[in-house]
């Protein structure tokens, strides 16, 4: 009881808000009425929607972005700011499921996605602290570490991409913690401030000519014919517009207006705490090379230093999407998790806690394609900063008539059980228990 009472007293001083949004002002949307017609309507203003809008507008396509809340409101501005290579599933699992050639294209896309983010940041001069600092995966069990050498060799052979195995004896060069059994480093990955990145994408899209409408929830989308050509009537709380093409880029927040896609998505809560600014020597001890770090569990923790030397520590502390209760409970769980990794932080104050909702597909894969004639890109499972930017840009090219080269377009897209679907999430605690069980037996 004493520990809980002490934490409760500390919690009263924690700001229940997204730290990243303290560092930037998100641009406001348009104040003018919706246009009557556009070439393309983009539903959702996260990294996928904004990168697509920017690319479309730069090609002279008239585009309106429709956002139910403020621009970048969802996971795109609330995540850990990790710009990561690879995918959630192990490479052997991917090859067994899709075949070598398909997985080569998938992995190539994941590598190209980092370059895509960097190119946009450079071209648009986005001040978001982008840094090619690399990522570090740390092994929670000896069995996890034992698979790292084989995994690195397979990735080098199949994809010509080099990872570096770090033994337990050398791990202190990478992380100021002694609880892990080794690590795996990918130097290509990067970090950034996600809220500043979203703000920069929004500004870039507006400069290119896209119209961005916030607080404009989409209520229905209906197929119609205009001038003998199929189009879409998009009905919103602020009026209607007619679009030649529609791109669904709302991720975990996909609503009933696009029900066919919504039932494919599993919305999973993810939560983050951020400490007070740390002393420079302590920050250097915790993360000597300033990596993006995550562990090898299914029910994982991920963490990093912010540019102003806070420890940002996140994870699936609660599987339910964010509410006041899940945010408060998650703050306690994450603080205890952080101290288990870094006992040095026991006396450091936690200043921020927030939550967001990620879009998972049942097969834990990204998916692109068409639903009821509308383009979509979903299922990033926590890797959305990089691959979301890349796929948004590629879908813009497809809308403009380019060949469809997305390796995620023609793979099976299974429906999750009804208890895991968006709007029917009563079974999410069972999913959490299942992943904890996998961590126990792995």
Predicted confidence band of residue 425 (pLDDT cuts 50, 70, 90): low
The CATH number covering residue 280 comes to 3.50.50.60
Q: Looking at residue 329, what is its pLDDT?
A: 82
Tens-digit pLDDT profile for residues 292-339: 999 998 778 999 999 999 999 998 755 555 566 677 788 889 999 999
With vertex at residue 168, the alpha carbon angle to CA 364 and CA 83, rounded to the nearest 5 degrees, is: 35
230-237 mean pLDDT: 94
Range of weakest confidence among 185-199, 261-275, 389-403: 261-275
Tens-digit pLDDT profile for residues 250-267: 998 999 999 999 999 988
Against a cut of 0.85, is the pTM above it? yes
Q: Which residues contact 122 (CB under 8 A, 6 or more apart)?
A: none
Query: Which tokens go with 273?
Result: 């705490």
Q: Is residue 44 predicted with pLDDT exceeding 90?
A: yes
Predicted confidence band of residue 7 (pLDDT cuts 50, 70, 90): very low
Where in the sequence is the domain holding 331, given as residue range(s)? 2-441
Q: Do 252 and 422 form a contact (C-beta atoms < 8 A)?
A: yes
Q: How many CA atoms lie within 13 A of 211 on its CB side?
A: 19
Give the single-character DSSP code of 331: H
Count how many domains the chain has.
1
Calpha distance 79→385 (Å, rounded): 8
Q: Is residue 147 predicted with pLDDT exceeding 80?
A: yes
């Amino acid at each position: 009881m004493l520990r809980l009472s002490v934490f409760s007293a500390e919690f009263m001083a924690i700001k229940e808000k997204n730290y990243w949004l303290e560092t930037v002002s998100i641009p406001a949307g348009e104040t003018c009425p919706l246009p009557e017609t556009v070439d393309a309507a983009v539903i959702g203003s996260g990294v996928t929607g904004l990168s697509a809008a920017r690319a479309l507008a730069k090609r002279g396509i008239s585009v309106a972005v429709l956002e139910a809340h403020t621009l970048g409101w969802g996971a795109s501005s609330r995540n850990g700011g990790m710009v990561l290579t690879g995918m959630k599933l192990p490479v052997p699992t991917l090859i067994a499921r899709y075949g070598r050639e398909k997985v080569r294209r998938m992995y190539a896309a994941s590598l190209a996605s980092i370059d895509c983010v960097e190119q946009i940041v450079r071209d648009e001069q986005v001040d978001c602290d982008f840094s090619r600092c690399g990522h570090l995966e740390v092994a929670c069990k000896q069995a996890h570490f034992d698979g790292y050498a084989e995994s690195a060799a397979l990735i080098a052979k199949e994809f010509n991409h080099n990872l570096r195995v770090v033994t337990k004896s050398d791990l202190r060069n990478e992380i100021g913690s002694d609880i892990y059994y080794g690590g795996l480093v990918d130097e290509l990955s990067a970090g950034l401030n996600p809220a500043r990145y979203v703000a920069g994408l929004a500004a870039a899209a507006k400069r290119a000519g896209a119209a961005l409408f916030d607080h404009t929830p989409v209520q229905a989308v209906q197929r119609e014919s205009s001038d003998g050509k199929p189009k879409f009537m998009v009905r919103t709380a602020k009026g209607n517009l007619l679009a030649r093409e529609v791109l669904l880029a709302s991720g975990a927040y996909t609503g009933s207006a696009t029900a066919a896609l919504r039932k494919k998505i599993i919305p999973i809560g993810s939560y983050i705490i951020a400490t007070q600014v740390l002393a420079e020597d302590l920050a250097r001890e915790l993360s000597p090379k300033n990596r993006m770090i995550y562990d090898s569990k299914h029910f994982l923790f991920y963490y990093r230093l912010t540019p102003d030397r806070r420890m940002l520590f996140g994870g699936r502390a609660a599987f339910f999407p964010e509410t006041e209760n899940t945010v408060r409970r998650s703050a306690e769980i994450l603080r205890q998790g952080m101290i288990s990794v870094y006992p040095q932080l026991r006396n450091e104050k936690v200043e921020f806690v927030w939550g967001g909702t990620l879009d998972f597909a049942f097969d834990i894969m990204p998916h692109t394609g068409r639903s009821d004639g509308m383009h979509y890109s979903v299922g990033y499972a926590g890797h959305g900063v990089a691959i979301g930017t890349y796929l948004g840009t590629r879908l813009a090219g497809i809308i403009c008539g380019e060949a469809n080269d997305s390796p995620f377009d023609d793979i099976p897209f299974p429906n999750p059980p009804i208890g895991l679907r968006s709007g029917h999430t009563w079974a999410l605690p069972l999913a959490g228990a299942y992943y904890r069980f996998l961590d126990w037996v792995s």
